[in-house]
Amino acid sequence: MEATSYCDSLFEYKRVETQTVAVGNMLLGGSNPVRIQSMTTTDTSDTEASVAQCIRIIEAGGELVRLTTPGRAEARNLRSIADRIRSLGFETPLVADVHFNPNAAEIAAAIVEKVRINPGNFTGEAKKFDMDRFADISDDEWLAQIRRRLVPLLDICKANATALRIGVNHGSLSDRIMARYGDTPEGMVASCMEYVGICRENDFHDIVISIKSSNVRVMVHTVRLLAATMRSRGFMYPLHLGVTEAGSNEEGRIKSAAGIGALLSDGLGDTIRVSLTEAPEVEIPVGECLADYIAARSGHRPIAPTSTDAYSPYRYQRRHTRAVLGVGGIHTPVVVADASGRKCPDVAEAEFVYSNDCISVPQTVIMDYGVWKSVRPAGSYPMLLPADLDEYMGAGFVRMSYDELTDASALKIKDRDLVVAAYPRTTNPTAELRAFALALSARGIDLPMVPWLVYDTQSTEAFQLYAAADTGLLFIDGLADGLMLSNYAQTIDTLCRTSLDIMQASRVRFSKAEFISCPGCGRTLYNLQDATQRIKQRTSHLKGLKIGIMGCIINGIGEMADADYGYVGAGHGKISLFRGTEVVCKAIPESEAVDALIELLKTDGVWREPTRE
């Protein structure tokens, strides 16, 4: 597929046009704003608790509220919840979240405005990780089984004007899809399109689609592939965006912003849910911040198109560069700490410090050329401007904007030992920096590129969301060789930590343990938020280790399939521990489970004691 198959332009922000779908009294898709939603964590059988949490989400600005609906009892109780919410004057659409129970979906479809189903679970086929049993079963047989379960639901949705979300999750693909495609973007798209095809056969089009993963790179590339597939077939249903099990605190926000922001930047996405292991109403302002930030790019200054022959939007492919000063080539992306005008502390895990004042730091120092040539500290390098290239011929950094990459400047930098500090000047830095990287490759320039972005927001959360939304795509697609963030309202530590978290979210550099933690729902039967914080406190220092923290077995084995170890709810106050997809300890009391996880890590030889600062 061509690079632009999934969106209208790689160089101009423009929303991808989708079909408009009515969800109750709210219109989703088309020219409507990106809608923000969240999901309750209460037991849907508990009417008062569920109503109270729905109202907190709505009052925070939530435009849809989803409730877990595992069985028929919970589905029937949606009537009481909906009636109570409506009696209090709230008209916000409600969504039933159904996984394994088509009967629950059918009951819910007659009550709420939208039903979410998961193709990997909906036929009731439990995952057995046994692929050989599908060798002799034809596609027609399986599609017939899907129709038997799905068509009755579509009939109820039609009769009640209920929308349907087809929500594919990376970790819960059916064994049949896994047998055919493996755990791949192609498999996720195929799973989704089977259900879309049956909907279209039955003239049902009130469809919203999501493809999610806790792996940000997989999520972005797969949603692009889905969009390209739909557009090639002449239709485009609204897209629900989200990174599953993003986690909590700044890591969860940065991970969500990197994935959701990459897609929003190309005009994809009609509704978003930021999945945090925190109170659900906290998710709403994060989603609003992301949506508003990207929407403000509309009408930005033009960005000159360039060749997209080197662009790979459906799989990771690092841009070919040669190493300069330990940047690019086979080197892990670097962090440049902007210490301009500040005292220079030792910034751990930053490879370079940019400052005209600091010399006595362990990192390599970069100084503005005018200052550098007067003092020339040992082991330091200049930050050049294009005008300095005729005077200085040695190694260093060159600060350039995309519009400064002319025929003349390209000749000056092509065969030099320079790192390009790419400095965007439009309000669409993502597209501008992508164009810059592609233009360098198109001109045969194999110099590494380190984006340099400047912010002035006082809010640390907003800064981190903006930076991740702006630059996540560059790492997800392999276009950047490092990152330099500037914001004088933030500490140097925050700037560097944010850069590292963006790289970790994009899976190009791991600086600490990764936590794949779900936000919880009505199926969660232990204190998920408390457990997540305790596990993070004790294991964050285990760089590169991936730990899944799941509220229940429905999200358990599948959604944490990318994790090395899993901590999964097994019942009221009970936890099961997994090594990969293998359960190794069953139904441990919650009070003992974190210690048991640490003991498992020690037994497996992956534990090390944290170093003391």
Question: What is the DSSP code (8-state) at residue 277?
Answer: S
pLDDT at 144 over 70: yes
Q: Residue with structure tokens 């692009």? A: 224
Answer yes or no: are the C-beta atoms of 394 and 428 closer than 8 Å.
no
Q: What is the mean pLDDT of residues 18-38?
A: 97
Q: What is the mean pLDDT of residues 335-355?
A: 86
Q: Residue with structure tokens 């792996």? A: 215
Q: Which residue type, as a one-letter code, is found at position 360?
A: S
The domains located in the chain, with CATH, are 21-283 (3.20.20.20), 334-505 (3.20.20.20), 514-603 (3.30.413.10)
Residue 130: band (very low, low, confident or very high) from pLDDT cuts 50, 70, 90: low
Tens digit of pLDDT for each residue in 54-75? 999 999 999 999 999 999 999 9
What residues contact residue 465 under an 8 Å CB cut-off, 6+ apart?
Answer: 253, 254, 257, 261, 286, 289, 290, 293
Give the Å distances, CA to CA, from 424 to 135, 202, 214, 461. Answer: 52, 48, 29, 22
Question: Token digits for 390?
Answer: 């005729």
Alpha-helical regions (H) of 94-201? 102-109, 139-160, 175-181, 185-201
The pLDDT assigned to 135 comes to 53
| Chain centroid offset of residue 148 CA | 34
Q: Is the dihedral of CA 234, 237, 239, 245 positive or negative?
A: negative
pLDDT at 392 over 70: yes
Counted residue by residue, the chain has a size of: 613
Give long-range contacts, CB 8 A cutoff, 24+ apart: 598-603.
598/538, 598/539, 600/565, 601/539, 601/542, 601/545, 601/565
pLDDT at 383 over 90: yes
Answer yes or no: are the C-beta atoms of 216 and 32 closer than 8 Å.
no
pLDDT at 364 over 60: yes
Residue 516: band (very low, low, confident or very high) from pLDDT cuts 50, 70, 90: confident
Helix (H) or strand (E) holding 226: helix 216-232
Answer yes or no: are the C-beta atoms of 534 and 515 closer than 8 Å.
no
Tens digit of pLDDT for each residue in 252-272? 999 999 999 999 999 999 999
Give the max Cα distance, the chain.
Answer: 79
pLDDT at 561 over 80: no
Give long-range contacts, CB 8 A cutoff, 24+ apart: 322-326.
322/446, 322/447, 322/448, 323/448, 324/395, 324/417, 324/418, 324/419, 324/447, 324/448, 325/364, 325/381, 325/395, 325/396, 325/417, 325/419, 326/351
Q: Which residues pair with 352 in a beta bridge?
A: 336, 364
What whole-number distance in Å separates Cα of residue 549 and Cα of residue 496? 26
Residue 529: band (very low, low, confident or very high) from pLDDT cuts 50, 70, 90: confident
Helix (H) or strand (E) holding 271: strand 271-272
Residue 173: band (very low, low, confident or very high) from pLDDT cuts 50, 70, 90: confident
Q: What is the mean pLDDT of residues 562-587?
A: 88
